[in-house]
Chain A
Amino acid sequence: MPSYYKLYRTSTLGAALTDSLDELITAGHITPQLAVQVLEQYDKSISEALSTKVKVKAVMKGNLRTYRFCDDVWTFIIKNPLLKFDHEITTADKIKIVACNSRRPGE
């Protein structure tokens, strides 16, 4: 069985799921073990959805302020990034990119 990154748990969707699970655990409705199983399913579902359902291409430009490569994970901090999507452009003062290797260990 392929493994999936836990990376996306930090997103809005993952954080909301984590909070909802936490509410159920605290109320005694589910066990932490079951919650972990749900999160693992989330890892799989979001990973598959991103790779198969999303068609958007994006371009990022900006000043690389910090870069780091540790445990096969790249982290970039970009100052004044310009973020271009198919039909939209947005900017921010600073953005952090966390990127795991698309080729997973063992593949």
Chain B
Amino acid sequence: MSNSIVAAIYRYVIDDVVRNVQPDFEGHGVDNSVLEQLQRSWEAKIIQSRVAAFPGEDSHASEYDHADRSAAQGDYHSPSDHPSINSAASLAAIMNNPESVAPSAASLASLAQSGRGQLLDEDDDDADNSDSQLHYSHDPYHSSPPPPQSHSRTNNHNRHIPQNDGAADSPLSQPHAAATNADSNAMAEWRKLRDSRRRAYKTAIASIPPAAISQLDGASDDEDDEDDEDDADPQQPTASANNSAIPDNPEVAADDLINSDLDDEDEDDEENGGDEDIEHMVLCQYDKVTRSKNKWKCVLRDGIMLVNGRDYLFQKATGDFEW
């Protein structure tokens, strides 16, 4: 079935993107661990979206199932109890290594380990799990300390992460830091770009079956805590609230809950084609579109199709439509 090739293509694209942006990351002085984090997060989101059957999704013993994937599996299977464990383990790792130059490495290692723990024993109880995380999170640090100078830049950010994680103590301070660090115009542009994409995509997924909706919803929640990535993101709670609110009233939810002033572009109508509020979508290119009376013929290519919660890809497609 054509859906089965989707996973392979997505895997290829993810690897290709990550490989090709590596010089860009280096050019911006961003540590490689951030790129790895990006890849892990991206893969986890795709797996949790359930748009395709991924290798290792159903068989946990698959060799393809490296730590990233199993971390996602862990997310999926036990959504609620891991954030606190992770943050506790990472925090403990830092407290035990006050001179640590690489908390990011430690927390990533503990993250990977938590995934591996999930792989080995899905139903491991909390105490065991956090013990093993604590234990393993020290080892990678001691055995291979990363070069301090290359980490110094990202460390400042990563150092905050395990401590903020789980506790909503200082979520407001972080965005300010990000906003002042980055050019604010670029930030505004990014938000605009991001929100228009998100809105378009959420409009599409609003039409997929409820089961798939709840997985997506749960995924973004768990993701936040599990991966220690965006714990300080004040938009995440509203974003997930947004997800869960979508079945009721997608337009109102999107407008109300995506929080920034910058989000208020009137893009909804354009994105939706006016009155079309629920739809499956095809993104593609056309070679030829012809009409004879009320019969339309389209020759399409290079398409991605999201239908009924599954993604399909095609190289060529013909469309025969009657108006």
Contacts and interface: CB of A to CB of B under 8 A. Distances in A.
A3 interface: no
A99 B285 contact: yes
Contacts of A46: 13, 304
Contacts of A35: 190
B252 interface: no
A26 B318 contact: no
A34 B21 CA distance: 9
A86 B20 CA distance: 32
Contacts of B220: 19
B323 A98 contact: no
Given A29-B154, A45-B17, A58 B317 contact: yes
Interface residues of B, number: 94
Contact of B308 (A26, A77, A92): A92
Interface stretch (B3-11, B115-123, B139-147): B3-11
Contact of A102 (B194, B224, B302): B302
A12 B282 contact: no
A33 B183 contact: yes
Describe B's contact surface by its main secondary structure: mixed
B234 to A, nearest CB: 8
B30 A29 contact: yes
B201 A10 contact: yes
B284 A99 contact: yes
Describe A's contact surface by its main secondary structure: mixed
Contacts of A10: 197, 200-201, 204, 281, 283
Contact of B20 (A8, A45, A66, A94): A45
Nearest to B277: A94
Interface string B282-298: 11111101000000101
B233 interface: yes
Contact of B182 (A32, A51, A88): A32
Interface stretch (B36-44, B57-65, B79-87, B93-101): B36-44
10 contacts: A12-B51, A24-B34, A29-B37, A30-B28, A32-B189, A34-B24, A38-B38, A74-B298, A88-B2, A99-B285
Given A12-B51, A58-B316, 14 more contacts: A11-B306, A13-B13, A19-B194, A23-B224, A24-B230, A25-B178, A45-B17, A57-B316, A59-B320, A65-B323, A87-B1, A96-B279, A99-B284, A99-B300
Closest 3 CB pairs of A and B: A23-B230, A32-B190, A16-B45
Interface of B: 1-3, 5, 9-10, 12-14, 16-17, 20-21, 24-25, 28, 30, 34, 37-38, 41-42, 45-46, 49, 51, 154, 157-158, 161, 174-175, 177-178, 181-183, 186-187, 189-190, 193-194, 197-198, 200-201, 204, 220, 224, 229-233, 235, 273, 276, 278-287, 289, 296, 298, 300-308, 310-323
